Structure 1
Amino acid sequence: MKEKIRELRQKRANLIQNARGVVDRAEGEKRSMSAEEETTWNSYMTEIDKIDKQIEREERMAALEDTLTGATHEPVGQSGDPKGPEQRENIHPTDREEYRSAFAKKLMDGNLANLTVEEARALAVSSASSGSNIVAPQQWVTQLIKDLDNAVFMRKISNVLPALTTSDSLGAPTLDADVDDADWTTELQTGNEGSMDFGKRELKPNPVAKRIKVSNKLVKFSSIPIEQLVRQRLAYKFGITEEKAFMLGDGVAKPLGIFTASDNGIDASRDIVEGNTATAVTYDGLIAAKFALKGAHVQNANWIFHRDVVKQIMKIKDNENRYILDPNSAVADKILDRPYYMSEYAPNVLTAGNYAGIIGDFDYYWIVDALNMEIQRLVELYAETNQIGFIGRKETDGAPVLKTAFARIKLGA
């Protein structure tokens, strides 16, 4: 698995190099890229996106396979299956040997009268009452086919505080106005008088919930652990709901996002327009954003962009005509020497006045929970429809607590 991921990363690096070669040729001849070159460059970018998804898929599949340890990867219901009668109860009816035998006979002569009693009974479990609707036998594997999950990373880089247990909210004092610097004076003087002004930041976890229903028959006969999968998907969907709010939330009954201008979080004074055009982030704009932070914050800062913006940044060169994203360097996954993350929920509409990314010290994005995710299993409520219900619940809040720890990249007018 690790070897395959390494191969994919090397293939990605080669594609990036090829794409840059296309741009280099046009710039070396001091001209714009031709239509053919644009098509070639875009094809490289498409292939790079595919490989990025493959890498994420391989990494997630490795994790999922660990959780599915013990689930069979062999077709069920085969002749000579060593499973005892009790284990065979969980085999889907169309996977039983009796059904396979009956199905084969039906295909050969179409006469149900030639079936044994056991074969006829087996065939009836998946047919209409007359036994006339025949269902082909199936084999199942434990691998689930689904679209690639989006990245969820904000909790990894932010300051996640201990869950609340004795109160409804978390308050933290803020130093809104600091005392002036000390004065050079004489032995008997005390310097000019100064005062400090304090305020408070409050986080109040908000409830979030989801209810789903699953067929009892599916839970009983499926060859994959449906109940375990339901719990995993609920956990992921709660993570995605949080991620969206940490990015774009308005702070009303939900977290306050980093891309929402607010006096309670990051206000408009932290929007950096300098150097950017109305449709693109520039090298000068990135420099201006990075150094809008104080030195201590820069050392701990991360960038966040949508992948569409990263694709645009990949074309940018520094003042020495070098690409600022070099796949062959030791800082291939960094921009201006700081790591970057890609989020599907970051802004990607590159028009005048819109946000295009952010850099910040995410130790100053605080997340607090009052209720860790809980899942309740409902058996009786949906008994009439032969279903099982699952309710997931959680309470959480999040917000930037120090605006000067962040700088948002904004496109020019």
Structure 2
Amino acid sequence: MKTNRVMLAKAAALALAAKPAPRGIVSGVRADGSNVAQMVQQLQQAFAAFKDEHTRQLTELKAGINDPLQAGKVEKINETIADLQAAIDASNTKMAAMEMGISSGGRQIKDKEYSDAFQAHMRRGDVQAALNKGVAEDGGYTSPVEWDRTVTDKLVIVSPMRALCSVQPVSGTGYEKLVNKRGTTSGWVGEEDARTETETSKLAKQGYSWGEIYANPSATQQMLDDSEIDIEQWLAGEVDVEFAYQEGKAFVSGDGTKKPRGLLTYAAGGSNLHPLGGIEVVASGAAGSITGDALLDLVYALPETFTGNAKFAMNRNTMLRIRKLKDSDGNYLWQPSMQAGQPSTLAGYAIADIPDMPGVAANALSIAFGDFKRAYKILDRVGVRVLRDPYTKKPYVMFYTTKRVGGGLENPECMKFMRIAAA
């Protein structure tokens, strides 16, 4: 279905452009980074077609003509742009991961003896001497260092919040941070005036909510005995998808019960706020919608000291809406990627596509803007544990894999939200 929709959008974009875009505006999309430059060029051509058709639509509306066909053309090109931008963003993420050395291909194993024993344990359940260093009373085994790192590195690629926010490994779940609530005062005095005591800054503790995330993939014993595949790679692939799905929701909107507390739960006006208060909320400017002026208000609500690394975060459907917005001079606030390795921008700032952000609806916090690395911290309890279970679901062997994860707000001053106005 998605392929059909993409191809229809492609055809619409090609037909509508003043100059036909090259063949393969979407069909050539690949997420391996080898075709990014071509996709960027196609994206810019599609956006030019979008601006032409959207301007024509606005002109007709001002003249009292509401043509559903024209509106449909604009929406189809808009969806085409979204598909191209998503493919470019995926390629950019993978290229960045390769530059950081995240790719596990050809890696040097730090503890080959333990890794070989871990493989044997997953295939046959053998407990070898080398594996005893990972044994735990509950029967679980700490995974090899390189396997643990592979899972974590893949999560950076799959989970947008891990890529945006700061991540800190810790050795326990008792992590707390002291927060300076400020309050120091001063005064002017003459040479011989008395110096009365002034107010002193106060300190407060900021705690972080924790939870245990798990995956439980399985395979038959015969598959494990006979397969030539890399069992570690297979299991890591199963784990990173499940972990990323669960983490993504928790880091955005988790309630802190058996899971991290999400970024959106710290909005001003809520309960159990950060010691420095909640994150300021800016109104969207229109009931059930977003205005260009409101987006600029959101940008300028963030103190200048935090704008250097600031980014927008929203879901795909919200992006479709904001792509039509203009500033007071008639310039589109959204701009496509100009070259490989760079994201699209909104009012000059990069945009992150986070599926778990709420859509545009009354009272929803649909857009976040700020320095994510200084605003939200993700905590990883060091080590992944795997429990091999050949008994519960014969003839399948299940690999119960767990990891403890925490998260919470670091500084509310580094982030702003936009709330969609109600009718």
TM over 0.5: yes
Listed one character per residue, the Cα deviations across residues 296-330 of structure 1 (whole Å, up to 9, x for unaligned) are 12222221101111111110011110101123768
Q: Is the aligned partner of 1:187 residue 2:191?
A: yes
Note the 1:105-144 alignment, pairs <5 A. Answer: none
Pick one of 228, 231, 250 that aligns with 2:233.
228
The secondary structure found in structure 2 opposite 1:205 is: strand
Amino acid at match of 1:4: N
In 1, the alpha carbon distance for the partners of 2:328 and 2:203 equals 44
What is the identity, as a one-letter code, of the residue corresponding to 1:14?
Q
Q: Does 1:361 align with 2:368?
A: no
Name the amino acid aligned to 1:284: D
Cα contact 2:212–2:403 (8 A) shared by 1: yes
SS at match of 1:6: helix
Q: Alpha carbons of 1:264 and 1:366: their partners in 2 closer, same or farther (altered >3 Å)?
A: farther
Work out whether residues 183 and 191 of structure 1, in 8 Å CA contact, stay in contact via their aligned partners in 2. Answer: no
**Higher alpha-carbon deviation: 298-307 or 339-348:** 298-307
* Distance apart, 1:334 and its partner CA: 1.8
User: Which amino acid is 1:21 matched to?
Assistant: D
Aligned residue in 2 for 1:409: 418
Shift of 1:52: 4.1
Distance 2:338 2:44 in 1: 10
Asked whether the equivalents of residues 375 and 411 of structure 2 are also in contact (C-alpha less than 8 Å), the reply is yes
1:255-284 deviation line (CA, Å, top 9, x unaligned): 1112224444476661211x5211212111
Q: Aligned match of 1:169 in 157, 170, 174?
A: 174
Q: Is the 8 A contact 2:176 2:206 kept in 1?
A: yes
Task: In structure 1, list runs of 5 or more residues that go unmatched.
Answer: 70-148
Post-superposition CA distance 1:156-194 (Å, at most 9, x none): 2212223124xx3111111224223x3333234447722
Please show how residues 197-346 of structure 1 align to structure 2 within 5 Å: 197-220=202-225, 225=230, 228-260=233-265, 261=267, 262-265=270-273, 270-273=280-283, 276-327=285-336, 333-346=344-357
- Distance in 1, Cα, partners of 2:224 & 2:85: 34
How far apart are 1:397 and its partner, in Å? 0.8
Residue 394 of structure 2 corresponds to residue 385 of structure 1: yes
Give the corresponding residue for 1:20. 51
Q: Which runs of 5+ in 2 are unaligned?
A: 1-31, 107-155
Matches within 5 A, 1:52-131: 52-55=85-88
SS at match of 1:277: strand
Rounded Cα–Cα distance in structure 1 between residues aligned with 2:311 and 2:87: 24
Residue 39 of structure 2 aligns with which residue? 8
Residue 344 of structure 1 deviates from its aligned partner by: 0.9
- Give me the whole-angstrom Cα distance separating, in 1, the residues matched to 2:34 and 2:235: 31
Contact 1:205–1:395 (CA under 8 A) maintained in structure 2: yes
Determine what percentage of the aligned residue pairs are the same residue: 19
**1:235–1:373 CA contact under 8 A, matched in 2:** no
Q: Report how far residue 248 of structure 1 moved.
A: 0.9
What is the alpha-carbon distance in structure 2 between the residues aligned to residue 191 and residue 284 of structure 1?
Answer: 48
Change (3 A) 1:17 1:377: farther
Deviation track 1:90-146 (CA, whole Å, cap 9, x = no partner) reads xxxxxxxxxxxxxxxxxxxxxxxxxxxxxxxxxxxxxxxxxxxxxxxxxxxxxxxxx
Between the aligned partners of 2:368 and 2:92, the Cα distance in structure 1 is 26
Distance of aligned partners of 1:57 and 1:361 in 2 relative to their CA distance in 1, 3 Å threshold: closer
Deviation at 1:28, TM superposition (A): 3.9
**Residue 152 of structure 2: aligned partner:** none
CA distance in 2: counterparts of 1:13 and 1:220, whole angstroms:
51
Tell me the TM-score normalised to structure 2 length: 0.68
**CA deviation after TM superposition for structure 1 residue 372, in Å:** 3.2
TM-score normalised over the length of structure 1 = 0.70
C-alpha separation in 2, matches of 1:60 and 1:219:
33
Tell me which amino acid in the other structure corresponds to 1:16.
Answer: F
Q: 1:170 to 1:228 in 2, by over 3 A?
A: same
CA distance in 2, matches of 1:376, 1:13: 50
Match of 2:164 in 1: 157
Q: Would you say the 8 A contact 1:183–1:192 is kept in 2?
A: no
CA distance in 2, matches of 1:151, 1:42: 28
The aligned counterpart of 2:358 is 347
Q: Which has the larger radius of gyration?
A: 1
Q: Distance in 2 between matches of 1:366 and 1:354?
A: 23
Residue 327 and residue 213 in structure 1: after superposition, are their counterparts in 2 closer, same or farther (change >3 A)?
closer
How many Å separate the matches in 1 of 2:84 and 2:289? 25
Q: What's the offset of the Cα at 1:61?
A: 8.9
Superposed CA RMSD in Å reads 3.3
- SS of equivalent residue, structure 2 residue 350: strand
Q: Deviation of residue 14 (structure 1)?
A: 1.6
Aligned to 1:34: 67
